């Protein structure tokens, strides 16, 4: 049973994904490029992969460049070699289809609990030590606090921004899974046993 995780995490475990060995490469030259120059560099290395990435998505552009430089193969070629199908015949995907209003209320409550558990204090310490540049600080629940630390917004405004961005993320994830997996959508966990074909394990 695989519960949760990102789409790539699930696909890596159940699909015919291959992850070629990568050498350590220095991307500092590319990291200093502006978005247009960086995207142009990818277009020269791997034009097919460049078509699938938005020019302003620096993280994905840099990742595609890294794959090419470290493995010697274009990312588009690696993807073309895979069928993108489960490697098992008896794989069943289930998704909990919650109603939108209570789901969003759970999101809002979760953010409230994060603040009670020390979200601001933890991130202030990291902010004072590392600034705003580390890539990990782009995570929801971190970057939204920067205006507060800079004295540009009050804490309540930042909290509402975290709640809004989390709700948007939930919606994007649901859309992704609906398009990427053959999911049996359920409203209660108990429905899983009813949906699985009878077998000695059930």
Report CA 201 to chain centroid distance, whole Å: 33
Q: Look at residue 197 in the predicted model and tell me its pLDDT.
A: 66
Torsional class of 97: left (φ above 0), alpha (ψ -120 to 50), beta (otherwise): beta
pLDDT average, residue stretch 9-36? 86
pLDDT at res. 38: 96
Q: pLDDT tens, 117-172?
A: 999 999 999 999 999 988 889 899 999 999 999 999 999 999 999 999 999 999 98
Q: Which helix (H) or strand (E) holds 28?
A: helix 28-31
Say whether pLDDT at 29 is over 70: yes
pLDDT band at 202 (very low <50, low <70, confident <90, very high): very low
Measured N-to-C along each axis, helices 155-180 and 7-14 cross at an angle, to the nearest 10 degrees, of 30
Rounded mean pLDDT of the chain?
A: 89
Q: What is the pTM of this model?
A: 0.70
> 3-class DSSP state for residue 119?
helix
Whether 175 shows a pLDDT value over 90: the answer reads: no
- Taking only the tens place, the pLDDT of each residue in 184-201 is 888 888 888 887 766 554
pLDDT attached to residue 47:
95
Residue 180 near residue 8, CB atoms below 8 Å: no
Q: Name the band, by pLDDT with cuts 50, 70 and 90, for residue 182.
A: confident
pLDDT digits (tens, 9 = 90+) for 94-122: 888 888 899 999 999 999 999 999 999 99
Query: Distance (Å, rounded) from C-alpha 26 to C-alpha 150?
Result: 32
């Amino acid at each position: 049973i695989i519960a949760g995780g990102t789409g790539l995490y699930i696909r890596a475990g159940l699909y015919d994904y291959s992850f070629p060995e990568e050498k350590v490469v220095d991307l500092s030259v590319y990291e200093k490029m502006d978005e247009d120059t960086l995207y142009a560099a990818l277009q020269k290395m791997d034009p097919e992969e460049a078509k699938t990435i938005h020019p302003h998505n620096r993280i994905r552009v840099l990742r595609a460049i890294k794959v090419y430089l470290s493995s010697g193969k274009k990312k588009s070629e690696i993807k073309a070699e895979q069928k993108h199908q489960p490697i098992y015949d008896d794989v069943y995907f289930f998704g909990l289809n919650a109603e939108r209003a209570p789901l969003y209320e759970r999101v809002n409550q979760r953010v409230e609990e994060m603040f009670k558990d020390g979200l601001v204090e933890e991130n202030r310490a990291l902010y004072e030590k590392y600034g705003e540049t580390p890539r990990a600080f782009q995570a929801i629940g971190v970057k939204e606090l920067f205006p507060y630390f800079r004295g540009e917004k009050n804490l309540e405004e930042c909290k509402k921004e975290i709640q809004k961005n989390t709700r948007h993320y939930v919606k994007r994830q649901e859309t992704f899974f609906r398009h990427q997996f053959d999911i049996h959508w359920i409203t209660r966990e108990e429905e899983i046993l009813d949906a699985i074909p009878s077998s000695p394990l059930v």
